[in-house]
Amino acid sequence: MSRFKNMARIHQAGGGTGFSFSKLRPKGALVTPTKGRASGPVSFMSIFDQATGVIVQGGRRRGANMGILRIDHPDIVEFIEAKAQQGCFDNFNLSVAVTDRFMGAVRNDGAFDLKDPRTGRKAARVRGKSLFDLVVNAAWRTGDPGLVFIDEINRENPTPDLGEIEATNPCGELPLLPFESCNLASINLARMVDGGSLDWQKLRQTVVLGIRFLDDVIEVNRHPLPQIEEITRANRKVGLGIMGFADMLIKLGIPYNTQKSVDFAKRLMRFIHKESLKASAALVEHRGVFPNFAKSIYAKDGLKLRNATVNTIAPTGTISIIAGCSSGIEPLFAISFVRNVLSGAKLFEVNPLFEEAAREAGVYSGHLLGEIARKGSLQNMSSIPIELRRLFVTAFDVEPADHLGIQAAFQRYTDNAVSKTINLSHNATVDDVRDIYLTAHKLRCKGITIYRYGSKDNQVLSISDGPGKRHESCDEPVTAGSEYSGGCVAGTCVF
């Protein structure tokens, strides 16, 4: 009962929760004290899901959860299929914690053992590729589960002496130890461009302020549980990230779906990470190292830091709407669209960068914006100059390999993880999903999430009949939910 109480207090405070169910007995296992039989992790997850449904944050929205189960748990098939029926586990994002050994079995078409987490004994032997196919098919049908590459996460664990990381926050960008908390902020990169060039000095100064402010937050924050306060103050993890990446690329004249954008992403995040570490080290002089420093990887390297981690790429849902910029590191989701807001009102929105560029090119008109809103993409519109079509690509114009290239570029220089959704057209195949998951592991991402348009009934972005299904005669515009900023179309990533 304490776990439900803790979850409720965190959700009431406006937070989200991540759970690993991997240590629970499999369904049917003997419970020695009572001589009864265990009901398994999915049944426990259902209770958490129902509890979340009755807790409303700030009078408006429910909390969000991440549910994780290791690939070698005997109940993994039930977990993979947990969202097969629409409406089940709507308060959970699901991810399978896959190991390097399992991914090796998939690639080599080898056998893989499922083990009882309590005894360590082999419960079953399965074909790795067949189990992987179940994951891929479920993700194609429903968007869940994603994958968490748990070995890669723990290779980068900054405090391994405190234990292994088993779970993440609701959107997967922050792998955490038990009771650790998210402490995040994001720099609006669109404000870092001056005269068609990135102002590196302004970015450096903003990073310094961001790290200091996040460290201040740990001091002044009122944590909902004493366990959270204790481990948060002991490790002082912060996650300074970015938003407005797509806007920045447009201002720099770099198309999102090019190698040039990937190369620039690496240069950019390398700079931000380096300056974040320098800023954290500078705080040590007056504030000291984080209390668990002696148990961290930095003690061995002689790098004195105030914070166990410094960078995270979050989805930046609501805050990017407030800031008026693109979401996280996602491409634009639309050029012009209708936003459904409170009380049933509808607001027509136009990307201001496109409006400015269209006016300069002499093609701007209300009729054009209406046509763009109906089509959802510029790519087949011959009335728009090719230069603008190349620059103003939207999420469904970007090939999966290009999405992954951007995610991997940022992950390379991010000590926590990267939240990004690989949005796929309705016509994407199961093989497309399989290739994405395999490539994400090869590129050393810490996790991967896909969403195939139309695979959920309640998605927060609507593009007529959907990408890949559009009829040119359709008059319905692109519509977005009130809090949709351009990340996960499914609408379950609320933070």
Active site residues: 169, 171, 173
- How many CA atoms are closer than 13 Å to the CA of 9, on its beta-carbon side? 14
- Please give the Cα distance from 304 to 284 (Å, whole number): 7
- Would you give the DSSP letter of residue 477? P
Phi/psi at 92 (5° precision): -130, 135
- Identify whether the C-beta of residue 66 lies closer than 8 Å to the C-beta of residue 172: yes
Task: Report strand pairing: 111-115 vs 65-70.
Answer: unpaired
- How many CA atoms are closer than 13 Å to the CA of 53, on its beta-carbon side? 12
> b/e for 92-113, b at 16 or more Cβ within 10 A?
bbbbbbbbeebbebbeeeeebe
- Identify whether the C-beta of residue 480 lies closer than 8 Å to the C-beta of residue 339: yes
- Please give the Cα distance from 7 to 449 (Å, whole number): 24
Dump the DSSP string for 261-319: HHHHHHHHHHHHHHHHHHHHHHHHHHH---TTGGGSHHHHHT---S-S--B-B---HHH
One-letter amino acid at 413 equals: Y
